[in-house]
Each structure stands twice: as C-alpha cells, then as structure tokens.
Structure 1
C-alpha cells in the first residue's frame, strides 16, 4: 500500500502573534515545520511527502529542510498554496496525482507532536474506511449559542469529538471531492473531513491523541518548549552482526536480498532460504539483544515453511521502532562463487530499503568469493554475513 503525506504550511498564523509564520518559528532550536515534516518523512510506511507553502516563504522552507536530522529523499519539491486552506490542499493533491498513492494523509504543519502510532492508526483507518479523521473526546460542556449569546442547546458531549489531523483518505476519493468543490466554486471548508462529508463520503473518526495539539496562540509555543525540553531523548548506537548459510539443492533459482535470481541450483531451507535477508535480520536482532531469527521464527513451526524472508526483516525493523529506535544502516556481504551479485545488486538494495523503510543510501551490499576454498568455493552452498547499526533511546537504570 503506497501512502503519501501532505503537510499544509501555507498559512500566515496571525493568532500566534507578531513575527514570522508560526510554522517556521523555533521550538527548542528547531522550526515547527522541520519537526512535523520529520515525523512523516521518516515514517517507514510513508513513501513520499509534499509540503504546501506560501510563495513568500521559500527561504524559511529551505531552512527547515536543511534542519532535518538527515536528508529525506522521500520529500518531494514543495508546492505553492492558494487563497484558502482548501485551495492549498487541492494544489498539494494535484502535485501527488502523478504518483497516484493509494492513501493520503493531510496534516497541519503546526501540529509537531503527531506520534508514529497516530500515523499508523491514520493509515489503517484510511485504508479501512476511505475517509477518516482523528478525534478526541470533549471534556468540557459545549453550549450552542444564538445571535444574542443566549444558549440555544446543550449537546450530549459523549457524542462529540474534537477533530485533529492527520486526516486520512483514499487518494482518488479526496482528489475527486476537492475538484468537485472547486467546480462548484466552494472554497471555504475548514478541514478535509468537512469537504468529504459535503461530497457524500461517510467520514469515520478514529482515536486521536490529546497531546497532538495545534500551535495557535503565543501560549501554545511556551507549552511546546516545555514539552520538548521534557522529552529530549539521548540515543545510544548499537551494532549487531548476523551470519547465514544454506546448502545448494535441486532447483532453478535462489532468493537473494528479496529478489528471485535464476540459478542452476536451489537451496535447502525451511523458508525461502534468502541468506542475505536472514543475515540482516539476525544483525538487527543482535543489535537489539533479542535472540536470533530461529527464536522469533522457529524452523520447526510449519507456519514458516516456504515463508518469504521479507517478513523476517520487516519484523526485526518493527521491533526497533516499537522500542522507540531507528535503523541507521544495513550492510551485507554475499559469499559464493555463483550466482554473480553484480547484475542484481541495485535491485536487491532497493528491495531491502523498501522492506526496512530506509533510504537507498542506508543499504550496502557486497559480494566476495572464498578463492575456491571451503564449501562455498566447492559450490556446495551459499552464505552471507551482515551488520546493522541502530539507535535506541537510553534507558536510565
């Protein structure tokens, strides 16, 4: 499932007080937009991100991009916004139309606290329902008032939700709704959920986060500074290694790095026998100090017979994420006389990057023979060794 994020950053933010637009103001030394953008651009399930900016803010935007913790190849060229928020979102959707993602998440740049779990819930809700918005229960009593400030009614707050972003949609549905609203000369919808309702879509509400606040008033920035100071995290770098070997057997191909490679032999294995992915999986598990591939996927269990090894690597990466960490680099070396790695190297690197949710420059792949020595030199089998570098939050004893 291809997922795109659209970050709306074209507003002026006048309620935040004097100064530059609020999305470019610094919180603990980093702009609000840079923090927001990194949360989406670094998320392993998001393949591309586009930011909609005001034409006058190009210099601010470029400074925010430079301030990202690492260059994000998934960030597309920015798009200029329109007169209203709705127009800005439509411009962003038009920019994404060429790549035609299945799901699009629309998020306010001034919400820098969206967690990875919230983004996951948004993706799943959009995929399930086609149109979904995050919401939190309303804790205050709400009054509907008339023209003279008199109370007209008091709705049952158990049925009320305060709506946030990211809002999630099947991309074709939201693009069609925006174009229909533009054709009807309607430009003032305050959020995409409301526009989707107007277009006849059934919009569902999934669980939001109380901490996913929108920075609107000067006091919000003071609170954001306090929260950032309290959540500053120290990361420790860990290195793990892995090794895997399989004997050759009957067959006409081998799986290497997630790619089916034609060969005059197959491998004897319980799963698909991909030594590169197996070694990388063990390297990540080693960095986590969390057993090995056999611990998580016992070869005695029939569930894993013939299993595709991309599931093993994806599982190991997910374990890193759930511990609040990140994978920095994967490096593998194939040991064999045949098949040759060269013709397939880049396809394998790309596939490994896709499985692990990494940039291509975070994946290294090499090959060597053993000078016709040992079982690989005699072409009796194939092996791979790997290393993984990860970062995990420091845990105070």
Structure 2
C-alpha cells in the first residue's frame, strides 16, 4: 500500500493574517482540502496522513464538518521543524509497510495528478524521486566581493511530493536533526539514497504570499 504525508505546519505570517495559510479559502474551499483531494484523485486507495500542529487540529475538524469533507485521512501532530513533522508522519505508516510514501507541502494544492504519478512510479523503480523544473531566471552567486552569475542550466527548482521507498526512508529518518536537512530528500541523501528527478508542473506553487493567493484564485477559475 502507498501513502502520502501532507505536512501543513504553516503559521500564515507572510500572508499577513491570523489564519494559517493551509486553512485559507481558495475559490470557496480551504487550501488543505484541495491538496488532499488532488492525491485522492490520483489514487482513492492511497493512505493519507495529514501533519498539523496540535493547536490547529480542533479547528481542522470544524472545517471538515462545515464543508462535509469526506476524504478519509489520519491526523498526526506536527513537530518543531519540517524534519520532525515528516518524522511524525512517517511514524504513522506501519513499520512493516511495503510500497512508496510521498511527503508533500500542504499548501501546494495545484500539483497535477500526472506529476504525482511520475513521482510515485519513479520512486517505485529507483527508491526515491522528486519533481523539478528548469530555472528560467538568471542566477547569481553572492559573496562578500559582489558575486558572479552562474549557469542556470546546472540548476533546478525543487517541488513536492518527494517520494521514497517506505522502508528506506523510515531508516533514513532514524537519525538526529541536522541544519543540512533542507527538505525530505536531503535526509534521504544523507543516508546514501540516490534521488531521481522527474518533471514537475508550473502550477505546483507553494502558496506563501498574498500574491500567490491571487494566482491560486486565477488557477481555480481556468
């Protein structure tokens, strides 16, 4: 059985409001519900684990009731960092489970079903995968002497879901936190796993700023 861990620990500060960004409505529905529904659309049998700060879970239950949200999922407590939240999510996956588990940002509701499928299939074949996009802007390396431009062809922007063989990623997360863990794939790489890159999709943005919400409303109306 395959699983998806949806990490939703945002405080919403950059949005400028009190409501955590995963609960903000986009075209009439909370962002987190849209994210969960996209994975359910990919595979209705997928085990869905939602990681939320404990203080937000009662509000989430109220939202599920208000919107009659019926997609089955398990809620677990968030942690101090993304690493700890992902680790809590992985702990909810049975220790003897075989298959692929993905870890996804709760505020990326526009990941395409095709991107999800590419990630899960690549992890099934190679052990670990993540979706990427080519860099279109000019990149500059910055140092104390002013820096210099670098070849953007050598770089990619990274999205989620990042997908892994369940047993291998559970083993990888059986370690202490490090500042070098910038995402879930970096934990896997530290344990010696090789990461396969697949194509992401442009709409798969992380909703972080008020501008992102405007873009999200536009995407919903297309």
TM-score normalised by the chain length of structure 2: 0.92
1:26 maps onto 2:25 in alignment: yes
Do 1:5 and 1:46's aligned partners in 2 also have CA atoms closer than 8 Å? no
Mark the CA change 1:169 to 1:64 in structure 2 (over 3 Å): closer, same or farther: farther
Do 1:84 and 1:188's aligned partners in 2 also have CA atoms closer than 8 Å? no
Mark the CA change 1:160 to 1:62 in structure 2 (over 3 Å): closer, same or farther: same
Does 1 or 2 have the higher relative contact order (CA < 8 Å, sep 6+)?
A: 2
**Structure 1 outlier segments of 4+, above 6 Å:** none
Question: What's the CA shift for 1:200?
Answer: 1.6
The whole-number CA distance in structure 2 between the counterparts of 1:60 and 1:163 is 31
C-alpha deviations, 1:249-290, integer Å up to 9, x for none?
A: xxxxxxxxxxxxxxxxxxxxxxxxxxxxxxxxxxxxxxxxxx
1:172 maps onto 2:167 in alignment: yes
Matches within 5 A, 1:365-384: none
Mark the CA change 1:94 to 1:223 in structure 2 (over 3 Å): closer, same or farther: same
- Counterpart of 1:102 (choices 99, 103, 122) is 99
Matches within 5 A, 1:200-215: 200-215=192-207
- Gaps of at least 5 residues in structure 2 are none
Do 1:3 and 1:103's aligned partners in 2 also have CA atoms closer than 8 Å? yes
Matches within 5 A, 1:58-97: 58-66=57-65, 71-73=70-72, 75-76=73-74, 78-97=75-94
Partner secondary structure for residue 51 of structure 2: strand
Mark the CA change 1:170 to 1:44 in structure 2 (over 3 Å): closer, same or farther: same
Partner secondary structure for residue 96 of structure 1: coil
Mark the CA change 1:47 to 1:68 in structure 2 (over 3 Å): closer, same or farther: farther
TM-score normalised by the chain length of structure 1: 0.53
Partner secondary structure for residue 5 of structure 1: strand
The whole-number CA distance in structure 2 between the counterparts of 1:68 and 1:129 is 39
For the aligned residues, what is the CA RMSD? 1.9
The whole-number CA distance in structure 2 between the counterparts of 1:115 and 1:27 is 17
- Counterpart of 2:133 (choices 102, 118, 136) is 136
- Gaps of at least 5 residues in structure 1 are 231-397
Matches within 5 A, 1:344-363: none
The number of aligned residues is 222
Question: What's the CA shift for 1:84?
Answer: 0.3
